[in-house]
Structure 1
């Protein structure tokens, strides 16, 4: 499922972009991804087991700059997990958006995330 835009207070969540108007490739490189363009292309595809996977770019609202990634994975109608990583200095943003992403996962994806902490990995 492609990520829908979420206004999470001080932060704006959107789908990953890699086009001539906006590219998240430099920020994803900064996060340590070895193939950022490939990651963008496959970000919202279900995994090999058919589990739901949805990934958002956590952005500064005024610039659209990606400062963190957050994602949810899990089986529709079952349990899931949040994972993400933030650029240097933006760990607080990742924590701030966990609530809105949990609510989206539960209401729109039928994936129960619960109160488990965000796993510090690439979604």
Structure 2
């Protein structure tokens, strides 16, 4: 089996939990990483190494179950990957070199009431992409 990139830090599963995506931050080693490593959860086989941002940190499955978002503190950016193709689809720059350290998705209903549906603590409403089941607010 192949190891992760330098200094693995955060990790998340894809929607069907057949893959685990690992943020290779590298912070503890004084060498900062720029990759995300993808493994098969069934047999531990290395599937892919993806280029990401400098000091990639937190990595989460988006509420739609189709994207993985990875924060890159060293670049002040968020990298978005398609879970099926593993291709990078977007790079989101933080205004004024802001710190993209954590990720939070918020849903606003028709009355303007906001609810957190996903953060580093898990899924909090809507549809859980791991199970496809509705979650109550």
- Shared topology, TM-score over 0.5? no
Ranked by relative contact order (alpha carbons within 8 Å, sequence separation 6 or more), the top structure is: 1
Larger radius of gyration: 2
The two structures have a TM-score, normalised by structure 2, of: 0.30
Structure with higher helix content:
1
